[in-house]
A and B are shown apart, each in its own frame.
Chain A
Amino acid sequence: MKEPNKQIGAGMNRVDGRLKVTGAATYSAEYQLPGMSYGVLVGSTIAKGRIKSIDTRAAERAPGVLAVISHVNSPKVPGFVPTGKDPSQPQTVGGRLKVFNDDKVRFNDQPIAVVVADTLERARFAARLVKAQYDQEKHETSMEVGVKQGFVPTQAKKNPKSGVADYVRGTADAYKTGAVKLESEYVIPTEVHHPMELQSITAHWEAPDRLTLYDKTQGTLATRRDFAKEWGLPEENVKVIATFVGGAFGNALHSWPHESAAIIAARIVNRPVKLVLTREQMTTMVGYRPHTWQKIGMSATRDGKITAITHEATGQTSSYEEFTESTVQQTRMMYTAPNVNTRYRIAALDVSTPIWMRGPGEATGAFALESAMDEMAHLLNIDPMEFRLRNYTDKDPEKNLPWSSKFLKECYQAGAERIGWNKRQLKPGSLRDGEWLIGYGMGVGTFGAHRGSSKANVRLLPNGTVLLQSAVTDIGPGTGTAMTQIAADTLGLSPDKIRFEWGNSQFAQAPTQGGSAIVNTVGPAVQEACLALKEKLRTMAGASNGAFAAAKTQDVVFADGYLTLNGNPTARATYADLLRQTDNGFVTVESKPDGEHNKNYSMYSYSVHFAEVRVNPLTGEVRVSKLVSCADAGTIVNEKTAGNQMKGGAVGGIGMALMEAAVIDDRFGRYVTKDLAEYHVPVHADAPAVDVFFVNQPDPHVNALGTKGIGEIAIIGVAPAIANAVFNATGKRIRELPITPDKLI
């Protein structure tokens, strides 16, 4: 008999670990279909205007070319409603780019043609031969200009209670009359997700009305919905496979032009089309974290009680689609201030549409808020952790609700001990190791804990193994492993008797992987499906066996070839007998989706990150020598994979703090940081061994598993922790990321 919760919590190895390290896991670009052809996109070389002419003759004549498709010859895509006479209305919510649908250029490197050939090399060669002439119009890509043109998002106008609408608690801008006050502006540049795996898709029309996509996506069902709609097909006619996803960090949360282009191309050449973006196209075609300007006004009493916070933010979006995120959310609920107000705006520029990047708006907002907290603590001459404790809140001041659970104080304490916070000096520049200055900083992160709607399909097979299926994807956190653990504990089965299959739109409904919501949402669906399977089997066995008929669900025990009952080991129902009662030889149960959000509590995950940095005062080099990340994320299903997520998020935070920046030359509206030699992400030498601590206390209200979510809080608060540590080391407050050497000398 297994102990309850035997697998949950244990650092079980990834169920797909061996497949991944041996190269046996098939990623979207690796599917091989008979008759495969290859698409390569041609990007515009202007940021705004119209395509006057496009010369595709040389490309069409090049060896192996099957088709060159542009707005001139692209087929009518049913879902692409014709654009109006004057579509230059930046203040509409807009929609995805309708690729090849008209002659308009809306951003630099916008796909203007796709070349399809029988090999990738031939397609790449021919793509260089496509030449376009443009009627260029004056573009605007500068965020300095954008900030002055920020507007209230349509979503906020329609719904004043929306998270991106203006918010006031107490009096707006009350900080201006505070005893001790500060007003600081913060900027984060455009950041690009750059997962290791390039965005890729293979589009295959299996019949004129049946489409199969092997696609890099975080949501098989969202992708299915988007392209079924685009082609006017019933959703069941579109199949989306995304079994393995090589990292995404948010950039596969949206459907993008290259996917539409591959589907159009496959339609034209009547063969499967594989299309893999180049690393350069990853900057321009699949979203990014928007360039964001922020201002924090804060006031406090001399004894360290915050009296008011004002948080303003303006984020970049495209001219054709409004993108918003929760940049100011953390300010509304993190500290007990009587007066808090937020203003969120967006600025439409001639760039492609942003998309959520890990810890989306919150990570941006936390840089401002948590830097300002450090600035205020410094003004007050109070330890920054003590300052946060004096403003700790035991209920949600925004929603006026109790927290479902909150163990942030425990995180503070554990993190402070681990980093050696007692070594920190109030006066910046006090600590040295040889030539290097040493500093300590902290930053807090939070993200909403949600249970969304999901089903799970579970099936007992004749050999006594259990197969679970879910449309959910696994972009790296180890979803398949976590679900196997949850099923194992619920069924009382060893994990090797369970197979969890995912990443297929034909499996049971599940949400897109994102927003730290998958274990919270799919986990309970798996749990409920497994309980329902037990109950169904008990009922089936009970038809001919009184002991089973009288037993409770939780007493059912899976044994070797038969079911038995806890406390009555002589009761037996063989799988063979049970399955003989079925029509198809197996028992299937699907759980019901449960999207009910508990409205009586405010639910959040929390993290706090502590950084020790070393700064060379001559050269401005910053090294993060220690990083401690502590999380209150409810029950930890798998300490190993959860720890891995925390470490990955922390390293992402180092990138955000110290090096990541995508830069546009505004004269051309074109990026100058399109490859990984120009756009820097951390290498191993930049990352210390991240010390991870989990409170590991179940949340009683989010779901029955007690989980709250990890993926986002792993990065939210890391960048300000490092920026604050740099201030403590040097006395220099860097309010514009990244903190590169030139800013410190």
Chain B
Amino acid sequence: MNQFNYIRPSKQQAAIDAVAKDGNAKFIAGGTNLVDLMKRGVMAPQKLVDINRLPLTKIERQGNALRIGALALNSTVADDRQVRERQPLLVQAINAGASAQLRNMATTGGNMLQRTRCPYFYDTAMPCNKREPGTGCGALEGINRMHAIFGFSDKCIAVHPSDMSVALVALDATVLVSGPKGDRRIPFTDLHRLPGDAPEKDTTLEPGELITAVDVPDGPFTKHVSYYKVRERASYAFALVSAAAALDLDGTTIKSARLAFGSVAHKPWRLTAAEQMLVGKPATEETFRQAAAVAMQGAKAFKHNEYKLKLAPNTLIQALKTAAAA
């Protein structure tokens, strides 16, 4: 690990200024990902700005939304009564991620900003455009079993690893950001970006911008929800594929639906076409199969992840079946 400076401001503006003025500074909250990356030599910030003293831990009603502070711990959010009542899909997604110990450290903002688990990104002896632009994508013709089937470029085929973000993108969440140029709101679907020619950039955040909260709007998705995560063991593993499904049912007829995939792209992958296709249809396996087929349009596999072309739709069908039966 490099030597670095460490500050722990108690004012939000001081934290933002510290990072905005120093290109080699990084915010740190739970540190569950950044510290690992520093130990592995993947990231070497010269300054860490610890934001844990900022008052960003609240979970509260704000108009027709639940506002979750960026420093609210994953475990706190998943255990919160209001979140459990209003957003059970989010609770399922959070609890599908990492381990209890990590969820006790990881924050809401940090979870969104965790970096890919691509092994080429993690190994400094391997090529990786995300870690070191211009070195090439090791995964493109390498071991790409865990990699993207949507939205990739020839510069990067990594996937975003967050479970929580898959639920947030499905639930039309909005990210609240504060930065050197003031505050702004980012629709969750626009927070993460596709790799294109600049895979080193995971998000649309500007330098020094700090996530302060996420708003999750109230909706009818309080019962028929499922976050279904397929992985190689029963717990504590990144997804091969995950699917978030939320249904608003009138009897057996689907009034509206929210769907997203995880671990298929550089960002959590919202499935709006499939959602629209479901509206007004009966909640049957046949309908779910049709929706899954729509969801998979445009998917393309690499040498080792061809299975995702089948596993992804199957996981979505399973999530929809589980949601409908909930």
Task: Identify the A interface with B (CB < 8 A).
Answer: 45, 121, 124-125, 128, 280, 435, 616, 618-621, 623, 658-659, 663, 665, 667-668, 670, 672-675, 677-678, 680, 682-686, 738, 740-742, 745
Contacts and interface: CB of A to CB of B under 8 A. Distances in A.
Interface stretch (B66-74, B115-123, B168-176, B256-264): B115-123
A619 B314 contact: yes
The 3 closest A-B pairs by CB, nearest first: A742-B307, A685-B234, A45-B125
A124 B240 contact: no
B286 interface: no
Contacts of A672: 119-120, 123, 126, 142-143
B2 A618 contact: no
B310 A680 contact: no
Contacts of A738: 232
Contacts of B40: 280
B2 A125 contact: yes
A670 B311 contact: no
Contacts of B236: 683, 685
Given A125-B3, A667-B142, A623 B314 contact: no
B120 A618 contact: no
A680 B232 contact: yes
Contacts of B234: 623, 683, 685-686
A619 B232 contact: no
B233 A618 contact: no
Interface string B30-42: 0000000000110
Contacts of B311: 619-620, 741-742, 745
Given A745-B311, A745-B314, 19 more contacts: A45-B125, A125-B2, A619-B228, A619-B314, A620-B311, A620-B314, A621-B230, A665-B142, A677-B117, A677-B238, A682-B233, A683-B233, A683-B235, A685-B233, A685-B235, A740-B232, A741-B232, A741-B307, A742-B145
Contact of A665 (B143, B230, B318): B143
A623 B235 CA distance: 11
Given A619-B311, A685-B235, A742 B142 contact: no
Nearest to B138: A665
Nearest to A621: B230
- Determine the main DSSP class of B at the interface with A: loop
Contacts of B119: 672-674, 678
A686 B232 CA distance: 10
B232 A745 contact: no
B232 A658 contact: yes
Contacts of B120: 672
B43 to A, nearest CB: 13
Interface in B150-190: none
Interface of B: 1-3, 40-41, 117, 119-120, 122-123, 125-126, 138, 141-143, 145, 228, 230, 232-238, 240, 307, 310-311, 314-315, 317-318, 321
Given A621-B230, A741-B230, A742-B307, A680 B237 contact: yes
Contacts of B232: 658-659, 680, 738, 740-741
5 contacts: A125-B2, A677-B238, A680-B232, A685-B234, A686-B234
Nearest to B313: A618
Contact of B240 (A121, A667, A674, A741): A741
Contacts of B143: 663, 665, 672
A125 B3 CA distance: 8
Nearest to B236: A683
A24 B287 CA distance: 60
B318 A619 contact: yes
Contact of B123 (A663, A674, A677, A741): A674
A616 B314 CA distance: 10
A391 B122 CA distance: 51
Contacts of A745: 307, 310-311, 314
Given A128-B41, A667-B141, A683-B233, A675 B122 contact: yes
Residue in A621, A667, A678, A738 with the greatest tally of chain B CB atoms within 10 Å? A621
Contacts of A623: 234
Contacts of B1: 121, 124-125
Contacts of B145: 742
A147 B236 CA distance: 34
A683 B228 CA distance: 19
A670 B318 contact: no
A525 to B, nearest CB: 41
Given A668-B126, A672-B123, A619 B315 contact: yes
Nearest to B127: A668
A333 B41 CA distance: 52
B318 A742 contact: no
B307 A618 contact: no
A685 B233 CA distance: 8
B284 to A, nearest CB: 15
A616 B318 contact: yes
A309 B234 CA distance: 37
A697 to B, nearest CB: 36
A740 B314 CA distance: 15
Contacts of B240: 740-742
A121 B39 CA distance: 10
A616 B311 CA distance: 12
